[in-house]
Structure 1
Amino acid sequence: MSPSTTRIVAIVLAVVLVLGAAGVAIGYGLSARDGDDSADGPERAGPAPTSTPSADATEPPDPALAAYYGQSIDWAACEDDDDMECATLTVPVDYAEPDGETIDLRLLRDPADEPGQRVGSLVVNPGGPGSPGTSYAAAGTQAFRQPLLDAFDIVGFDPRGTGGSDPVDCLSDDELDAFLAADPDPDDAAEEQALVEDLDGFFAGCVERSDALVGHVTTVEAARDMDVLRAALGETTLTYLGASYGTKLGATYAELFPQRVGRLLLDGAVDVSLSTRESSLGQARGFETALRAYVEDCVSGDDCPLGGSVEEGLTTITDLLGDIDAQPLPTSDDRELTVGSAFYGVVTPLYVRDYWPLLTQGLEQALDGDGTTLMLLADAYASRDSFSGDYLNNSAEAIYAINCLDDPTALAPEDVPAQYADFEEASPTFGRVFAWGLVGCAGIEVEASEPAPQIDGAGAAPIVVVGTTRDPATPYEWAQALAEQLDSGVLVTRDGDGHTGYNSGNECVDTAVEDYLVEGTVPDDGLEC
């Protein structure tokens, strides 16, 4: 196995930290790990407790929930890592029926590295929706810098319906392979019909293969779970770091429990006011911007296989995807790289600038008729182990279940062509794929028990929102919008590539985040890094 292939395998196995989602299941997920846009920041002061323990820390918002809010967490060493502590937290399936069925959420805690400097518990969520928060909390320096690891018990939970928290199951592994490989931009009536049938089968499978929780995996209910977790951790207010979709979860928490907001850091923000169509258009623009930045970087070097200019490089990629659509490429295993898998293989490295060389390798191989690297990258997006064929978690299924329960809006297939012009203007390369993503919730068979609220977080303490100027999955404009929508929003801007801003090589951003979370020092609104 070559060194480059070994590196890709490591990504396939490690990228489970973060995923993402829109109609085409393009997510808000993979966190940035840049290392080339650093800036100096101010010196850091000492730690400050995140919350002052008080008698009302476990007081429930509804007396009927007292048993949940009064529970204690029985931490024990995790089976596969003695340095981490694992436990479960019991919450109701339906908060309107607290005496009804319950679910146990999987928890993981990485205790503070410096107990004498501990300031509290930091609850984290990596995004998706659908990514397991326990993997994120266990990521250590891959996800968090030492000041946070020293000062906090990093606490992750698998949101309801994901990871180890009664995971939603919709398809067998073989069926999921085929679902993800399907053409995301149908070429004719037969492919359009196949897409509709695939979605119908997917959502029917969710109901058949999952229990009653499948109708209770909304962001609102996950936010209510977080408040139960806060109480069980003994925290009067919540200290939280949410990345990507985790920003929507955090903003929802601020709307439902504004007086329980302590220090909320929302990184790679989602604009919670947008319709499904507006979100899809925004992501189409974001991925086009990121792809152009990648191609510009590639053609500025000596060995770019795409051509000598940005426009030539983009044309090469577009033509390659068209060729793969017509004739899938062989790979090192018994699968073929279809255009659906090739799409995910191209967009996955755009989440992280450090992965751009992998995209170059994948495109060069594909131009030579070998789809192996692009397939490995597509597998990484879906948290699929390319060698065993096993899915490491259910994120590729949960993303549809959660998004479509939050907003079941879907276009009929016959209405999609009318969207082409707007979407191709936003993204000449990916526009039609995102346009077809608007049918993604067709066929959903369950309804949310509680509607999503309008969000302004009125009454909450200052909430810090981080946006990256060339973020593909959550465009910078979304961070600007969320900071404006939140009454107490404070915007921090990272000028850079990749998805999310913290721990991405920018000292100015990192210092601002850590000063806020560790010391409670709110950065200046509009800070640019």
Structure 2
Amino acid sequence: MRAVARYGAAAAIGPLLAGTLAAAPAAGTPANAESRGTAIAARRAAAAGVGFGSCPASERLPSSVACGTVEVPLDYAEPDGRRISLTVSRIRATGEPGQYQGAFVYNPGGPGASSMYFPLAGGLPEWKRIARAYDLVGYAPRGVGRSAPLSCQDPSTYLKAPTQAPVHPSPAEKRERIAAAKAYAAGCARLTGPALRHYTSLNNARDLDVLRAALGQPRLTFMGASYGTYFGALYATLFPSHVRRMVFDSAVDPSREKIWYRSNLAQSLAFEGRWADFRAWAARHDGTFGLGGTPEAVAESYERARLRLAAKPAGGVVGPGQLQSAFLGTAYYDDYWAPRAKALSEYLRGNEEPLIAQAAPRPESAKGAENANAVYTAVECNDAPWPTDFAVWDRDNTELARRAPFETWDNVWTNLPCAYWTGPRQRPLEVRTKRGALPPVLILAAERDAATPYAGAKELARRLKGAVLITERDAGTHGVGGGPNGCVNAHLENYLLRGQTPVRRASCAPHPEPDPVSLDRSAAQPRLPHTV
């Protein structure tokens, strides 16, 4: 499911011989129409380059960032057919010419997230040395923002509030959600038409190779977070000889059988563990928040707020659904813990304002939120088969909700349109590389990450031969690169700047837990957003 949007954790190459590498598939991969189409598109992009200039006002980027576009085929099997433009952003490397190592491309996940903001990361302390060596490049994947944008419903109706969020929905509530999922899937098909089937993870990987060529890079330096690790793994499988350096931050389990239905089941279970972490922390700081001295007491405080909001939404717009969305953030990022606990505490004492400020939908974000959800839905529904009988979803998630009630059904409703999707479904690619085919790549993971459970990082390391796994022990923030853990950041810098990794794997002690007293400081450390 999609993550909560936030700012959370995130030797020179030779002459840049643009276009000298054809987009050849990995050994053993059929030389099909799509791989030939990728090669054609990459050659065209290498010749055209990216005409960087001023960014449109709609991007809301400072003048220090340059913007451009790259053309890619809508359908790689027909490279001479319809083409779409992907928006790209860049800030040039700030170091001396001898430090320069080329372009560094970043994707924050989703599906449905843009990294057009990414060049600004060079101004953050954790990224300054990397920014001296690399051009920092962001882009909006197909469907996102101005890159052939997708939509499945009127944005003005997307952030409807207040809403309910029953932990154990009734049969009537399930029927209502089924009808909504069918309508949403139909809206995606109606508003996009036959082009909808081309919004896939495999095409995101092919687009990445075209972007590489357009940037004049013989080999790609890339960091993907969350969902970005999945199509990054597809890229490594399809184009291993095109990889220079790759970082996989908070890795999706790429196993065919997990994409995407079972991945979401595993995610819902992991969210329960991370929700427990937050409650245990709040209980340890009962003197500050007054939510209860045990995790169970904190859960009772949350339930009291949920029931009160069901009867009378805060500010007329924050109901149980908005409360749930706000507190889902605590399962992603522990720097949400203090502000959310404070808002819950204030609400139960009669002050609604902090909760409204943190949980109320923002009308100005409706268009972007609807677009991101449309891309998320299209990509995940197109990528793989899903159960088409609601009885399967009902059976699996009713059982799961007995053990993991916090997020299970909310996750179901996010993904249920895939049960009623029209058009062909792909069979997921087998992610795997042979030893020696891929340069060393770096995998970063937090042991208690809920959005991308840690088992996925271990599975990815097993499949990409020569990958090195860096683990932040006993921590659960989603997206650890460029965050508060100096040990993780040292491994990241050592790899990106010098190409060096530990021999096999390494671990880092957890970053400190949030300080409940320094609420302003802990509320929003400026780091890179990650979504899945």
TM-score by length of 1: 0.83
**Partner in structure 1 of residue 488 of structure 2:** 509
The aligned counterpart of 2:467 is: 489
- The code of the aligned residue for 2:210 comes to V
- The letter for the 1-side match of 2:231 is L
Q: Counterpart of 1:467?
A: 445
**C-alpha offsets along residues 295-317 of structure 1, whole Å, 9 cap, x if unaligned?**
22212121223211112212332
Q: Report the CA distance shift for 1:158/1:314 in structure 2 as closer, same or farther (over 3 A).
A: same
Distance 1:212 1:435, change over 3 A: closer
* Shift in CA distance, 60/290, structure 1 to aligned 2, threshold 3 Å: closer
Write the mapping of 1:9-158 to structure 2, written as runs, cut at 5 A: 21=1, 26-27=2-3, 32-33=8-9, 48-50=11-13, 53-54=16-17, 57-61=20-24, 62=36, 64-65=40-41, 66-79=43-56, 80-116=61-97, 117-141=99-123, 145-158=127-140
Q: Give the match's secondary structure for 1:264.
A: strand
Q: Quick one: structure 1 residues 408 and 199, their matched pair in 2 at CA, closer, same or farther if it must change by over 3 Å?
A: farther
Residue 51 of structure 2 aligns to a residue whose secondary structure is coil
Alpha-carbon distance in structure 1 between the residues aligned to 2:192 and 2:346: 40
Give yes or no for the alignment of 1:192 onto 2:174. yes
Counterpart in 2 of 1:456? 432
1:410, 1:439 within 8 Å by CA — same for their partners in 2?
no
Cα deviations by residue, 1:145-201 (Å, 9 ceiling, x for unpaired): 211111111111100001120110111123212399464657333322221121122
Shift of 1:68: 3.8
Q: Which residue of 2 aligns with 1:401?
A: 378
Equivalent in the alignment of 1:308: 293
The answer to whether the 8 Å contact 1:86/1:106 transfers is yes
Equivalent residue, structure 1, for 2:150: 168
- State the SS of the aligned residue for 1:147: helix
The Cα of 1:271 is off from its aligned counterpart by 0.4
User: Matches of 2:412 and 2:155 in 1, distance apart?
Assistant: 27
* Cα shift readout 1:199-241 (whole Å, capped 9, x = no counterpart): 1221222223335432211010011011011111111111001
- Tell me the SS of whatever aligns to 2:367: coil
Distance 1:404 1:198, change over 3 A: same
C-alpha separation in 2, matches of 1:123 and 1:363:
39
Residue 54 of structure 1, CA deviation: 4.1
Determine the structure 1 residue equivalent to 2:204: 222
Report what 2:332 is aligned to. Answer: 351
Aligned residues: 482
Contact 1:341–1:375 (Cα < 8 Å) also in 2: no
Q: Distance in 2 between matches of 1:387 and 1:308?
A: 37
SS, match of residue 337 in structure 1: coil
Structure 1 residue 399: deviation in Å? 1.4
For the structure 1 residues 231 and 186, does the alpha-carbon distance in structure 2 shift closer, same or farther, using more than 3 Å as the test?
same
CA deviations on 1:240-285 (whole Å, 9 max, x unpaired) are 0111111112101001101111100000110011243431232123
Residue type at the aligned position of 1:189: P
**Counterpart contact for 1:329–1:371, Cα < 8 Å:** no
Distance in 2 (CA, whole Å) between partners of 1:432 and 1:462 is 39
Deviation at 1:124, TM superposition (A): 0.4
Quote the offset at 1:415 in angstroms: 3.7
Q: Deviations over 1:448-482 (max 9, x none)?
A: 5x543110133211111111012121122221121
Whether the 8 Å CA contact 1:31–1:351 is kept in 2: the answer is no
1:391 aligns with 2:367: yes
Distance 1:64 1:303, change over 3 A: closer
Q: Give distance in 1, aligned partners of 2:213 and 2:378.
A: 28
Percent same amino acid among aligned pairs? 28
Q: 2: CA distance between counterparts of 1:392 and 1:208?
A: 19
3-state SS of paired residue (1:442): helix
For residues 377 and 482 of structure 1, the distance between their equivalents in structure 2, rounded to whole angstroms, comes to: 35
**Matched residue of 1:89: which SS?**
strand
1:393-432 matches, cutoff 5 A: 394-410=371-387, 412-420=389-397, 422-424=399-401, 426-432=403-409
- Partner Cα separation in structure 2 for residue 190 and residue 336 of structure 1: 23
Give the structure 2 partner of residue 268 of structure 1.
250
- Which residue matches 1:283? 267
Tell whether the 8 Å contact from 2:91 to 2:137 is kept in structure 1 after alignment.
yes
Paired letter, 2:107: N
1:379-400 deviations in whole A, cap 9, x for unaligned?
A: 6xxxx6x264643452132211
For residues 181 and 155 of structure 1, the distance between their equivalents in structure 2, rounded to whole angstroms, comes to 38
Contact 1:87–1:107 at 8 Å: present in 2 too? yes
Aligned mates of 2:23, 2:397 — CA distance in 1: 49
Q: Which amino acid aligns with 1:337?
A: V
- The separation in 1 between residues aligned to 2:438 and 2:241, in whole angstroms, is 6
Given that 2:70 and 2:86 are in contact with CA atoms closer than 8 Å, whether structure 1 keeps it comes out as: yes
CA contact (8 A) 2:289 2:342 kept: no
Residues 75, 87 of structure 1: 8 Å contact kept: yes
**Matched letter for residue 486 of structure 1:** L
Q: From 205, 210, 233, give the equivalent of 1:251.
A: 233
When residues 51 and 366 of structure 1 are mapped into structure 2, their CA distance, relative to the original with a 3 A threshold, is farther
1:329 CA drift (Å): 1.5
Change (3 A) 1:141 1:484: farther
Contact 1:321 1:339 in 2 (8 A): yes
Q: Secondary structure of 1:527's partner?
A: strand
Distance 1:98 1:59 in 2: 15
State the partner residue of 1:500: 479
Which 5+ residue runs of structure 2 have no aligned equivalent? 25-35, 509-532
* SS of 2:422 mapped into structure 1: coil
CA distance 1:438–1:391, shift in 2 (3 Å): closer
Q: Which range is displaced more, 491-500 or 404-413?
A: 404-413
User: Separation in 2 of the partners of 1:247 and 1:513?
Assistant: 15
Separation in 1 of the partners of 2:179 and 2:44? 44
